[in-house]
Amino acid sequence: MDQTFINTINRNKFDNQEFKNGFRAGAEYKDQMEKRIRDLESVLLEFIGYGDEWLLTKAGLNKRTKSVLVDMIIDQRNLARTLYNKLDEDTKKKLKSEIEMCVWPGDKE
């Protein structure tokens, strides 16, 4: 009986520690997701031209990690591509021509 009681106490301690570990991991994941949502909001607000207060400054960009900056660039590319794909064919051709003129200015027609 004493051994059963000791085993029960040890099991409860183990379960308690596992719960704390799981709770901490969940809290860290929640914080990461909230930061990711703020970063995506910032990308969208920058993209729609919400004013200079939404633009990340050089100092703000320097504070970000490389992986966060890469995620931001990929998000911006995906957003631009999605919007481009929603354009009608004539607008796409005109935009493509204007961009090509900026990239290869010697090839103006």
Token duo for residue 49: 């031209």
pTM above 0.75, yes or no: no
pLDDT of residue 10: 81
Quote the CA–CA distance of 101 and 107 in Å, as a whole number: 7
User: Residues with Cβ < 8 Å from 78, sequence gap 6 or more?
Assistant: none
Q: What is the pLDDT along the chain (109 residues), one digit of tens a residue?
A: 688 878 888 888 888 888 787 888 888 888 888 888 887 777 777 777 666 666 777 888 898 899 988 988 898 888 888 988 999 999 999 988 888 888 887 755 5
